[in-house]
Amino acid sequence: MGRSETALATEVLIGFFNKFFPLDEKEREEVRRLFSQKNVRRKGYLLQEGDVCKHYFFIISGCFKQFAVDPSGKEHNLQFAAENDWISDLHSFYSEEPSRLYIEALEPSVVLQIHHDDLLYLFINYHKFDRNFRIITERKYINFQNRILQNISSTAEERYTSFLKQFPELVNRLPNTQIASYLGITPEFLSKIRKKIVSL
């Protein structure tokens, strides 16, 4: 990967941070110094069960799923993330314990990654990063909380409608099997829901 390619990716990340608490020149230099670019092939992994999650990932291009595998071997999608979004296993990242999750690329992807120790360095020395990442984490928490509430109180059709609103850019990029796993239904039932919505 070329230096200019990494520089362009880093500027995208700086632009993301600037939407919240804009960075000064010294803080921008730290981003350029501490984040590194990683290219991931389709079906490549950022994390596998049993490994310690050592990085926090910002997605420049592509799409990822975070999932767990139950004792029967069935996959359960917990999260999707695409351009200008973040993904990690925060429990493993902060506790430094082995992860129970996988993070897999659904498309050829490019991410910027920062190591656990480097992120803590930013938090301690530049409080603006602490505030920016608090916003990122709070947004993720709200999304997970809303999803749990939907699973408790919403029909499959309502959950799919909510998915369309939350991830309009991903609907045509994800196979039915992946969306169905996220919604907790079979691909066949998802196809019925889609046909019903189209016919309305």
Q: Kindly state whether residues 113 and 158 are assigned to the same domain.
A: no
Q: Kindly state whether residues 43 and 81 are assigned to the same domain.
A: yes
Number of independent structural domains in the chain: 2
Q: Kindly state whether residues 87 and 40 are assigned to the same domain.
A: yes
Q: What is the extent of the structural domain holding 99?
A: 3-153
Three-state DSSP string of the chain: CCHHHHHHHHHHHHHHHHCCCCCCHHHHHHHHHHCEEEEECCCCEEECCCCECCEEEEEEECCEEEEEECCCCCEEEEEEECCCCEECCHHHHHHCCECCCEEEECCCEEEEEEEHHHHHHHHHHCHHHHHHHHHHHHHHHHHHHHHHHHHHHCCHHHHHHHHHHHCCCCCCCCCHHHHHHHHCCCHHHHHHHHHHHHHC
Q: Kindly state whether residues 164 and 142 are assigned to the same domain.
A: no
Mean local confidence (pLDDT), 4-10: 87
Q: Kindly state whether residues 164 and 149 are assigned to the same domain.
A: no
pLDDT of residue 1: 46
pLDDT of residue 200: 64
User: Which pLDDT band, with edges at 50, 70 and 90, does 62 fall under?
Assistant: very high
pTM: 0.91
